[in-house]
Structure 1
Amino acid sequence: MSGSRIYVAIDTPDFERARTLAVRVRNHVGGLKLGLEFFCANGRQGIHDMADLGLPIFLDLKLHDIPNTVGKAIQALGPLDPAILTVHAAGGRAMMEDAKAAAPSGTKVVAVTVLTSLDSEDLEAIGLDRDPHMQVQRLTELARGAGLDGIVCSGSEVAAARRSWPGGFLVVPGVRPADGHSADQKRVVTPRAALDAGASVLVVGRPITQAADPDMAARAIEATL
């Protein structure tokens, strides 16, 4: 198994496509990130079947509800024993505390701070009169206080997050190779820059999964690290 710190984002509802991609890149990534698209289409059995490939599973469901509901949802997900599980920091301290308490002991529960598809104008539109960096900082402190393992933030904020939380598990999505396209991500950095700034793991999706040769693309990104 690869010791890579890259988790490949397999964002498709098509199980056969997801498994084929995972098999192709399995020797050059450190784990598989499976999100809402995959989970809604394939459920818990789909997660089990992907886990059979032997790679850690990052279950990216971004849970956000009242504390009791999130806690019970995570209890229901417990048998899947994911390596990483996401909740939204905006759900508040009590919700995050209940999420961590309900998670399996080996699961890292990390809080999504500000989605990498949002910028300051988007935050203002939903009533947050602050730039993404300030909002990430506030939510990082909240997640740490709630006893979570870490956060999800863009590469633009990971250096500040690392300074304020030296022992935190910092997940950086939306990374793109220097020659890649940003697509719908607005705050992106290269994989090397994200690691240098303090990322614990990187999430890479389309630059690998939509490449003509996903395995070669994964190897090329890993080589930059």
Structure 2
Amino acid sequence: MPARDKIIVALDVASLAAGEKLVDQLFPYVGMFKVGLELYTATGPAAIRMVKERGGKVFADLKLHDIPNTVAGAARSLVRHGVDMLNVHAAGGRSMMEAAAEAARQEAAAAGLPVPIILAVTVLTSLDGKTLRDEVGIERGVDEQVVYWARLAQEAGLDGVVASPREIQVIRQACGPEFLIVTPGVRPAGAERGDQRRVMTPAEALEQGASYLVIGRPITAAPDPAAAARAIGEEMEGVI
């Protein structure tokens, strides 16, 4: 898979016009775009349609987390909107994840649409061991908790997980080579970390075994987003 198809750019913007501008600038260098909570709550499914109309793929990063029936219904809706990747939060448990996967696959078959990649979010990249323990109340260390949720997601029939690049190796050891790992917290050398705590460069994350890289501000906030995306793709090509 070429580097372009491994890059997911986070469209963390507040308007459809801002998202359109980024997609138009970046599509030559990026294959998939993440529509997250900020853009989706501002524009709804219009953001998904905008990316699809321009030929891009969509990762609906909504981190669905509710009772199984509610999450299943949301997964069906996202499939009908044509998303290529969606996620739920592993903290919702096995039954919730199973319901999401079953609903998405049934809806895709009924509508004659491709089945999206279905992922579980593990430990957010803004958290470290201290905040996980002291504020969230989880006594396991970050690596142990990520692996626990990754195995649960795999058992529930999901395709992979969202996890920081720091946990790629332990997930690979626990879940095998075919399990997908989508990694936020990717920062080119010298870039600001922002609110991300567990980070790596794009090349380092690929060398560890990441399947896809989610990259936001290092591209979208750059003076020339297209040049930034092109440079990251060239760095990645050196290790693919």
Which category of TM-score, normalised to the shorter sequence, fits these structures? Answer: over 0.9
Percent sequence identity over aligned pairs:
45
Picking from 129, 142, 162, the partner of 2:152 is 142
**Code of the aligned partner of 1:63:** L
- Give structure 2 stretches of 5+ with no counterpart: 109-113
Distance 2:31 2:173 in 1: 25
TM-score (norm 2): 0.91
Cross-structure match for 2:182: 171
1:2–1:26 CA contact under 8 A, matched in 2: no
Picking from 196, 210, 219, the partner of 1:199 is 210
**After alignment, is 45-54 or 107-116 more displaced?**
45-54
- Give structure 1 stretches of 5+ with no counterpart: none
Distance 2:53 2:132 in 1: 40
Q: Deviations over 1:163-188 (max 9, x none)?
A: 22221111001100011111000100
**Code of the aligned partner of 1:5:** K
1:176–1:204 CA contact under 8 A, matched in 2: yes
1:34–1:58 CA contact under 8 A, matched in 2: yes
2:3–2:233 CA contact under 8 A, matched in 1: no
User: Cα RMSD between the aligned structures?
Assistant: 1.3
Please state whether the residue corresponding to 1:111 is helix, strand or coil.
Answer: strand
Residue-pair matches, total: 225
Alignment partner of 1:133 is 2:143 = yes
**Code of the aligned partner of 1:171:** V
**After alignment, is 213-222 or 96-105 more displaced?**
96-105
**After alignment, is 106-115 or 45-54 more displaced?**
45-54
Distance 2:4 2:233 in 1: 10
Distance 2:170 2:142 in 1: 12
**Code of the aligned partner of 2:204:** A
Cross-structure match for 1:20: 21
Q: 1:116 to 1:146 in 2, by over 3 A?
A: same
Cross-structure match for 1:123: 132
Cross-structure match for 2:231: 220
